[in-house]
Structure 1
Amino acid sequence: MTGIGGFLGAQDPGGYSAVTTHGLQTTAEGLLHLTPPGAAISGTPLSFNDTANNSRWATWVRGSLYLSEFLSRVSYEPKDTNSVRSIALSFDNHDLVELLLPSDALLAEQCSHVRDYADLRGDRGAEIVSQLGFPTEYFSMILGMHVAQHKSTVELITATQVVAAHMAMIAKHALAVRRPDQIDGRILPMIPTPGHGSFPSAHATEAYAVLTVLEALATSWGGFEDLDNRIVMMRGLAERIAVNRTVAGVHYPIDSWAGATLGTAIGKIILNLAGHTGVPVEELRYEPQNQDFSDFDFSQNGGTMGLHSCGQFQTSAAPHFSWLWDNALTETQKV
């Protein structure tokens, strides 16, 4: 499962063992007599409602703040008009993404693509299994990142994919699209079929959201002489993560189209929240067609394949995402 559990428990030690708990108790009893009686010395209060306190909090606490900061500005509306059903997601009352429900006939047609992709399972099995959780390591490989040197960047990646997963689940619930193996018994997935709807793909949503954020971050770092090559590889990676889910037998290609659409929009919203100026958010509408998915088609030919831009907007920065972005900017790669 990706996304939703990305921050849960991070930097929270939980309970101690029974032996350690008892040892701490007896040690405290043995030390307290060494100090004088009386009231505690008053300390200096922390700043009120200030991101200066963020570095004091456990990672999972900051994760809750990022998620709340994003979702508090989201609204959505399931639409059912004139035989067209869709989910429309908005941000700050601006239209963000509308995804139209695929027909049963289209899903049946898409199953042939899913069956064809099964031939790649032998080659991609390790990728598919290791990408059941979010594949931060794969993006790190391209940008030469190390968790000790890029703590804030990794946290930004995690925040992005957690937000993306939540947004995908809103759409999945409303549209309630059956998985490929529930339509065609010949698909026989190589991993367990997830317990939620197929459309859009959360993996594609997360991958394209992270791609959008990391492309802007790596560009802002200004340290890569071969930046164009790295961006090309990141785009290829986002596509590969999405397609791997079709190879595994749990997603239609149109799921990746919808996920890439939603993820790109989410990534641009996060850049706006981070105070990264000059990044307009496109208002997108995706009407699924019987197409395979590729990043080239998504980025170059989307207008002829059901993806439509309906306008643009920008939105205001938010304190916690801005704090995280500013910290990630300091982790620049100088090569």
Structure 2
Amino acid sequence: MSGPGGPIGTFDARDARDARDARDARDARDARGEAQYGGSPGYIGVGISPHTVPENPAAPAVEDYWWAGLQWPQTSPEVLDGTGDPKRLHKIYKSYNTAEFKNWSPGNDAIAFLSEFAALSSNAQDKPDWIDIVLPDPARTTNNQTGVTDFGAGQPKWDLEDELTELVGLIEYRAGVMSEALQQRDTLIGYFQGIVPFTYLSHPYTFKLCHNALVVAQFLAYHFKKKFNRPRPSQLHPALMPPIDVPQHASYPSAHATEAWLIAYCLDEVMRDGNGANDKIMETVTAGQPVRNALHDMASRIARNREVLGVHFPSDSEAGKRLAFSAFPIVKKCPSVLALGDNKLLDKARAEWAGTKSVAP
């Protein structure tokens, strides 16, 4: 079966859980040792391995040798206990002690960080800081029966009918964006790594910060998705027919937008060269021209691609951007992250970029 932007297949049913995509499949690759992240195989097979010394070394010819097959722990060379009997398997090797687990993957460590973020209360009001984050009710939902999503005085107002009209107009762009948009269901960090290369090995603290941003964004996006329960655009206009399975959770805010923008804000904070006021490595400031920030442009692009697929309204993307902006200061208050100068995660991540300098265009 084919949709307006290409074939529809069983792969689409994954839908990457929309926001679990944002875990970016890195954990799975870490575990399998793929993509140079230094992990181990997904499983370790242990069979029967021949001993290095033949059992009949006095045989006249090598072709007559045979070797004992060894399981693990290896029982050859044979070790005897004090009575002359072979040692029990658990005594072949000595045990050892270590004080703590040292092999947290960035994704799993980020899940643990989420409890720190969710519990942070710095306002002396006996409630978590994130509870104070506010988004407006989207158009035509339970508490907003109008056709407008209003982000406040002096802020954008999104007319629902205009949004639907725009999304229908974007259908013709699906073929061009499809490959990229499908990749972004499974990896977001990877697209920021494409702008400026960094990996778990080269920039471990930066990589960890990105994963922290992902889980926080997922948590907040799903909180508000459940709160507002906005239908997906294709539930309101049959012409949209997304070329992927429609994600099985509400539309507002866009989790992809929230994730991408929070990653961008975090990276912008640590990718600095210390060269005066305009020290953001990824930001270009030219007199008389708009400020260009490659990280922000990528976040906007990721969010826009979801609109092209027909699974998000533009106002969903705007809400995700605003949600990320509100979440970022709270992330920086968390004890394991903290502001610059406290020798925590932000400082360690910024130090990884100390040798990178921006050059005027």
TM-score range, shorter chain: 0.5 to 0.7
The structure-2 alpha-carbon separation of the partners of 1:144 and 1:95, relative to structure 1 and needing over 3 Å to count, comes to: same
AA at the equivalent of 2:317: S
**TM-superposed deviation, 1:203:** 0.6
Query: Per-residue displacement from partner, 1:63-84 (whole Å, max 9, x unpaired)?
Result: 332122222338xxxxxxxxxx
AA at the equivalent of 1:330: A
Query: Per-residue displacement from partner, 1:215-274 (whole Å, max 9, x unpaired)?
Result: 111126769785422961221111111111111111001101111111112223222321
The structure-2 alpha-carbon separation of the partners of 1:25 and 1:110, relative to structure 1 and needing over 3 Å to count, comes to: farther
TM-score w.r.t. length of structure 1: 0.68
Aligned to 1:191: 244
AA at the equivalent of 1:98: L
Query: Per-residue displacement from partner, 1:75-130 (whole Å, max 9, x unpaired)?
Result: xxxxxxxxxxxxxxx74376223332322634444211211222322332222121
The structure-2 alpha-carbon separation of the partners of 1:120 and 1:40, relative to structure 1 and needing over 3 Å to count, comes to: closer
The structure-2 alpha-carbon separation of the partners of 1:229 and 1:20, relative to structure 1 and needing over 3 Å to count, comes to: farther
Q: If you compute each CA radius of gyration, which structure gives the higher value, 1 or 2?
A: 2
**TM-superposed deviation, 1:199:** 0.5
Aligned to 2:164: 111
Aligned to 1:290: none
Identical pairs, percent = 24
Correspondence 1:4 to 2:49: no
Correspondence 1:16 to 2:44: yes
**TM-superposed deviation, 1:139:** 1.4
Query: Per-residue displacement from partner, 1:123-144 (whole Å, max 9, x unpaired)?
Result: 3222212111232222123234
Map 1:278-297 → 2, pairs under 5 A: none
- Measure the CA separation in 1 of the matches of 2:190 and 2:281: 20
Map 1:172-191 → 2, pairs under 5 A: 172-191=225-244
Query: Per-residue displacement from partner, 1:289-329 (whole Å, max 9, x unpaired)?
Result: xxxxxxxxxxxxxxxxxxxxxxxxxxxx9xxxx75434423
The structure-2 alpha-carbon separation of the partners of 1:98 and 1:20, relative to structure 1 and needing over 3 Å to count, comes to: farther
Provide the aligned C-alpha RMSD in A.
3.6
- Measure the CA separation in 2 of the matches of 1:186 and 1:140: 35
Correspondence 1:100 to 2:137: yes
**TM-superposed deviation, 1:202:** 0.3
Runs of at least 5 residues in structure 2 that lack an aligned partner in the other structure: 1-15, 32-39, 52-68, 82-86, 122-126, 142-146, 149-159, 286-291
Aligned to 1:134: 187
Larger mean CA deviation between 1-10 and 234-243 belongs to 1-10
- Measure the CA separation in 2 of the matches of 1:40 and 1:201: 53
- Measure the CA separation in 1 of the matches of 2:70 and 2:92: 21
- Measure the CA separation in 1 of the matches of 2:300 and 2:313: 14
Larger mean CA deviation between 8-17 and 257-266 belongs to 8-17
TM-score w.r.t. length of structure 2: 0.64
Q: Which has the higher strand share?
A: 1
Larger mean CA deviation between 7-16 and 61-70 belongs to 7-16
Aligned to 1:71: 118
Contact 1:209 1:265 in 2 (8 A): no
Q: Which has the higher helix share?
A: 1
From 228, 242, 245, the counterpart of 2:283: 228
Correspondence 1:125 to 2:178: yes
- Measure the CA separation in 2 of the matches of 1:256 and 1:130: 18
Correspondence 1:272 to 2:353: no
Correspondence 1:216 to 2:269: yes
AA at the equivalent of 1:331: E
Aligned to 2:212: 159
**TM-superposed deviation, 1:58:** 3.9
Runs of at least 5 residues in structure 1 that lack an aligned partner in the other structure: 47-52, 75-89, 279-316
Count of residue pairs brought into register by the alignment? 272
